[in-house]
Amino acid sequence: MVTGAARGIGLATVVQMAQSGMRIVAFDRPGADWGEVRLAGASELLEVEGDAGSSADWERLLQSTLEKFGQLDVLVNNAGISGAICPLIDYPDEIFDEVMRVNARGVFLGLKHGARAMKGRGGSIVNVSSVSGIGGGRFVAGYTASKHAVVGMTKLAATELAAEGIRVNAVCPSPTSTEMTLAMERESHDPDAVRRAMTRVIPLGRYAEASEIANLILFLASDASSFMTGTAIPIDGGLKAA
């Protein structure tokens, strides 16, 4: 199961999981464009539309999943929004609340309902955080707060769910070539300057590709990472090493 599956890192993850032969549940907001998800070539595909921040939608999602497939083995909590880009003292209260609702509450609900479905069988949950979830950053108060929450919940869930054979890890990407990043650039007066400033501090000198993040997600979802749980792994071109 992949949330935020219709584009960006979620779509790249669906593609790689489909290539690995996995049956896929793709979850995204109402009105999402499912065209590329359908082209991924999953052996079996279930598309569900809903709100990652809604408990009722998560209950419906898991019910549909279990009715179709009978089990859930892997959950990728990827759905998220960026929110406003502005100084902390100007950050709108309502946007902060909405970012936390989607990015933090959405992961909480995924962990809660996903773990219930995996109980007694085991499984792997991968949460998509950010380098903003293990550092400070600037001008994205809601995003940074929500992604720190994701890392904290990853560690808590890993310790609570280990006895059930459920592993929980997080990936922490630097800026990635996705529509979310491009939208953040467009909100500035000089998108090219924003890109130059962000890539300048990354030792590898570029944004990540969504497929590169999906590589790590697939590893954490698989038995190749069977002794890994509670980690929050930077995948950042050396940003946090610099």
Active site residues: 143
Q: How do strand 166-173 and strand 45-49 relate by DSSP bridges?
A: unpaired
- How far apart are the C-alpha atoms of 120 and 168, rounded to whole Å? 16
Q: How many CB atoms lie within 10 A of CB 190?
A: 10
Q: Residues 6 or more apart from 215 whose CB is under 8 A from it?
A: 16
* Long-range contacts, 92-95 (Cβ 8 Å, 24+): 95/142
Q: How do strand 74-77 and strand 123-128 relate by DSSP bridges?
A: parallel
For residue 160, the SS3 value is helix
Whole-angstrom CA distances from 20 to 17, 124, 219, 235 are: 5, 16, 11, 22
